[in-house]
Amino acid sequence: MVLRISLSIFLMLSLNTLLAQHYHVPFDHFNQLRYEREMTRKGMGLATSMKPYRTSAIQPVVSLDSAIAPAPLKWRFARTFVGRKLFSEDLVRVYAKNFALEINPAFDFTVGVSDNGERRTWNNSRGLTARGNLGSKVSFYTEFYENQAVFAGFVQRFVDSARVTPGMGRPKPFGTNGHDFAFATGYVRYQPTEFIGFELGHGKHFIGDGYRSHILSDAGFNYPYFKIETEIWKFKYVNLWAEFTDLSPLMQSGGADGIQNKKFGTFHYLIFQPVDGLEIGLFESIIWRGGVDSLGNSRGFDFNYLNPVIFYRPVEFGLGSEDNALLGLNLRWNFLKHYQFYGQVVLDEFNLSAMLGKPYPGWRANKQAFQAGLKYFDAFGLKNLHLRSEFNLVRPYMYSHFKSVASNYGHYNQPLAHPMGSNFWEINAGLEYTKGRFAFRGRLSYAKKGLDPNDGIHYGGNIFELDDSAPWGGNIDGPDGVGSYGNYVGQGLTTEFVFVETTASYLVNPASGLRVELGMLHRSQTNSQWSTASPWIWFGLKTRLPNRYFDWL
């Protein structure tokens, strides 16, 4: 008996040592606010704006398991081998000297009804996730699954238009009204010291502290990347190089595969935390076309952008290039124990005189994005009740490019930042409450966006159009041409978006994120030409899968 207890204690200590490694905390809206609450409560010097989080960076301060894991079930069956696998443990666990491996199923079996009962929806996703460590410096993760689905009508219309599944890449037809698509992600991370880490993978990232990001979001499709993270004193510095795909040749070819343009992005993100609770992040990026230009020259990867400690704009100017450069600021401030303010400012092009209305207001090349938000943790003294409110505004023509469609700030026909693209403002609010294994989540999004009517004019809401498409959408003729001035947020076919969603769930297994979920949403679009309303209700059994965003279509 003593030997068994001693062995159990040894395995538990070994497990904690092995698992406090360098793999990611998964993207998961159901747990994100609870992680952040623990970090604001206990965390000192934790950088929260660069996601996904790294377990080894957070675990010394915040116990991720205690942040989200409910109390163990008291049923006798739950303590058996089969019961533990169902309700509390990974499906497969292998722990040996200098090696750890955890394998779990990944699935989403959901049925529902939408479009006022006229459309039956379902989702059938099956796959596996595996993560582990090789020694104390190397960690790995892989996730893959096959999917077949019939979407709600409004999602189907987006798939038909963009020829991609939101966040999941290109689909193939399946049965009647169905789609077949695959998803895979993975990475290998090498952490030689606590100060620097190297990561090679295929996935996505999120920069910011809000529900949306104007810098880099996880709403789009995966991409291959290489990342370096350096942490010294109060600073964290991230270098990210990525390869993206431009699907415009596919759109122009009427459905043929063709040769897809490759483009590249390189990003710098510097985080400074001068005092506990205050985080300031500075961001810069360059997107450039890597395919064949109009003269038949192939550019490929530009090694001038490999230097990890430069400002890109002088390099881009020195090259005489016409690449797409962005600059951004992220701010997060925790105050009064329960509150967090956050915000972003991103500049694509900026002219102070023109922004002040000189000589005319609304210059089309003043392209910026803004965000301001507030979180209230343990609201009104109720533990695990977390509230969030957020305002986003993106000016017309933001993220697009004047020279090449392939140089826009997008990937696989979806924006890399806010999924609504540009030329809109949005109010977004959320509520999350957990009690034991039960969770309730509500979201509201209200937005006004300027769409392009069928009049051949580009009003600045589609980042996949050239931003110098003539004539301009403005209504004042300036010296630079027709409509270069007089542009405003929401111009064009001003459309009102309303999205309301509620979900209730029961967590079956915290290790895999297995839960039973009941959800419903209502989405509407209204403008001067048409109006649509799309209710959707569903019931499903699912594990922890990457976030899916439908509240922008």
**Mean pLDDT, residues 393-405:** 84
Distance between CA atoms of 347 and 353, rounded to whole angstroms? 15
pLDDT at 288: 84
Assign 47 a pLDDT band (cuts: 50, 70, 90): confident
- Answer yes or no: is pLDDT of 16 > 90: no
Distance between CA atoms of 357 and 394, rounded to whole angstroms? 18
pLDDT at 39: 77
**Residues, the chain, total?**
553
pLDDT at 5: 38
Assign 476 a pLDDT band (cuts: 50, 70, 90): very low
| Structural domain spans, the chain | 2-542
Of 10-14, 132-136, 186-190, highest mean pLDDT: 186-190
Assign 521 a pLDDT band (cuts: 50, 70, 90): very high
pLDDT tens sequence across 99-126: 999 999 999 999 999 988 889 999 999 9
Lowest mean per-residue pLDDT among 152-161, 412-421, 461-470: 461-470
**Mean pLDDT, residues 516-535:** 94
Assign 472 a pLDDT band (cuts: 50, 70, 90): very low
pLDDT at 311: 66
Strand ranges, E, within 71-215: 92-96, 99-114, 119-134, 138-150, 172-174, 178-190, 196-203, 206-207
pLDDT at 365: 79
Strand ranges, E, within 303-453: 324-335, 339-349, 367-376, 385-394, 410-411, 414-415, 424-435, 438-451
**Mean pLDDT, residues 171-176:** 89
pLDDT at 13: 37
Write down the mean pLDDT value for the chain: 84
Distance between CA atoms of 309 and 269, rounded to whole angstroms? 10
Tokens of 148: 């077949």
Residue of 298 and 69 predicted with greater confidence: 69
Yes or no: domain 2-542 corresponds to CATH 2.40.160.130: yes
What one-letter code names the amino acid at 155? V
- Answer yes or no: is pLDDT of 67 > 80: no
**Mean pLDDT, residues 246-268:** 70
- Answer yes or no: is pLDDT of 475 > 90: no
pLDDT tens sequence across 375-386: 999 999 999 999
Task: Using a pLDDT cut of 70, give the percent of the chain over it.
Answer: 82
Assign 426 a pLDDT band (cuts: 50, 70, 90): very high
Q: What is the model's pTM?
A: 0.90
pLDDT at 434: 92
Task: Using a pLDDT cut of 90, give the percent of the chain over it.
Answer: 55
Lowest mean per-residue pLDDT among 56-70, 131-145, 164-178: 56-70
pLDDT at 480: 40
Tell me which residue of 49, 100, 94 sits closest to 210, measured CA to CA: 49
Strand ranges, E, within 452-486: 476-478, 481-485
- Answer yes or no: is pLDDT of 97 > 80: yes
What distances in angstroms separate CA 353 from CA 185, 360, 402, 454, 508, one per listed residue? 45, 9, 21, 33, 58
Cβ-proximal residues to 49 (8 Å cutoff; 6+ apart), any chain: 207, 208, 209, 271, 279, 281, 330, 332
pLDDT tens sequence across 218-227: 999 999 999 9
Upper half-sphere CA count for residue 184 (Cβ side, 13 Å): 4
- Answer yes or no: is pLDDT of 71 > 90: no
Please answer whether residues 184 and 191 qualify as being in contact, where contact means their C-beta atoms are separated by less than 8 angstroms. Answer: no
pLDDT tens sequence across 26-37: 877 777 787 788
